[in-house]
Amino acid sequence: MNCSLCNTKTSLFFHLNEKEYYKCSNCNAILMNPNHFVSPSQEIKRYKNHNNDINDIGYQNFVKPILNGVLTDFNSTNIGLDFGCGTGPVITKLLRDKNYNITTYDPFFDNNLTALKTTYNFIVCCEVIEHFHQPLKEFKLLKSLLKLNGKLYCMTDVYKETINFESWYYKNDETHVSFYHKNTFDWIKNELGFSKVTVLNRLIIFEN
């Protein structure tokens, strides 16, 4: 199969429990075979099981890398988007508590298409990009929604060669279908025309 990001021919990387994962030699993305994607109804059921309570202190601490990035780089006069906000938009809650203007969008739980018709100073995308069935399409959309000098903050587990993929917990979620290497983010930056990308552990920041 071809890479859903850069369209380069991929090779079989790992096979487990009847699921196949392919690796791209060009951008280093690791991609689940689309034949193994769960149905939309199964996907929704899985997301509802996350039980993301916006008032849970542990959950609030989990999103702090993105929250602190936004608070450092932007003030409350800027407008933001919580893309893929899910059932518990905790980043939105925490920013609104500080009088930030932020809009939510989620294809399953907040299909606010009006939110995709304007542009933003910042976009937060927490634990979302690993769910992208069509990552190139989604990253192009996110890029188009950013104002000049805007920033896109993503959180995901980044794959690196020292990780044993067979025992890697992150692949065990059946809705995780796209995995990214640092080189993958460099490819996205160059292909889509971001001015800069910074990878800080699980936090990835694209600058427009």
Of residues 73, 72, 50, the one with CA closest to residue 176: 50
In angstroms, the Cα distances linking 117 to 83, 110, 170, 192 are 13, 15, 33, 19
- Looking at residue 40, its pLDDT comes to 84
- Assigned token pair, 191: 């292909």
Domain parsing of the chain, residue ranges:
10-207
E-strand spans in 62-194? Answer: 79-83, 101-105, 120-126, 146-155, 158-159, 178-181
CA–CA gap between residue 120 and residue 103 (Å, rounded):
9
Q: Per-residue pLDDT for the chain (208 aa), expressed as one digit of tens each?
A: 999 999 999 999 999 888 999 999 999 999 999 999 998 888 888 887 766 677 777 778 889 999 999 999 999 999 999 999 988 899 999 999 999 999 999 999 999 999 999 999 999 999 999 999 999 999 999 999 999 999 999 999 999 999 999 999 999 999 999 999 999 999 999 999 999 999 999 999 999 9
What is the side-by-side strand order in the sheet with 203-207? 101-105, 79-83, 120-126, 146-155, 203-207, 196-200
- Looking at residue 50, its pLDDT comes to 65
- Assigned token pair, 159: 């794959």
pTM as predicted: 0.95
Of residues 154, 157, 146, the one with CA closest to residue 181: 157
Eight-state DSSP code of residue 205: E
- Looking at residue 134, its pLDDT comes to 97
For 10-207, CATH gives 3.40.50.150
